[in-house]
């Protein structure tokens, strides 16, 4: 027997979506990176530069009511 789904979240819908990194996300990225002891905290300039590099993959996972949850900063 399976557990019934919560009525607040319709089947097939999520409150989390992934979008491109924006300048307004820089402080979130820096704050989250600083909480991980082995992460390098990227400078504001580096994050800005990554937004301008063709092919760079910079994403933010965001909850509809809680805001940003995670980020991805990568180069192909």
Q: How far is CA 17 from CA 14, 41, 56, 71, 72, in A?
A: 7, 24, 19, 12, 13
Considering the domain boundaries, does residue 23 fall inside one? yes
Considering the domain boundaries, does residue 33 fall inside one? yes
Considering the domain boundaries, does residue 8 fall inside one? no
Q: Evaluate the CA torsion angle 35, 38, 39, 43 in order and state its sign.
A: positive
User: Which residues fall within 8 angstroms of residue 33, CB to CB, at 6 or more apart?
Assistant: 39, 40, 41, 42
pTM (2 d.p.): 0.77
Q: Evaluate the CA torsion angle 27, 32, 37, 42 in order and state its sign.
A: negative
Q: Which domain holds residue 35?
A: 16-74
| Tens-binned pLDDT, residue by residue, of the chain (76 aa) | 555 444 454 556 779 999 999 999 999 999 999 999 999 999 999 999 999 998 889 999 999 999 999 999 998 7
Task: Say how many domains are in the chain.
Answer: 1
């Amino acid at each position: 027997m399976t557990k019934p789904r919560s009525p607040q979240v319709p089947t097939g819908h999520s409150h989390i979506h992934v979008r491109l990194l924006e300048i307004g996300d820089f402080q979130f990225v820096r704050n989250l990176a600083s909480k991980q002891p082995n992460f390098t905290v990227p400078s504001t300039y580096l994050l800005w530069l990554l937004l301008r590099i063709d092919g760079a993959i910079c994403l933010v996972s965001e909850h509809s009511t809680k805001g940003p949850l995670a980020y991805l900063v990568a180069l192909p």
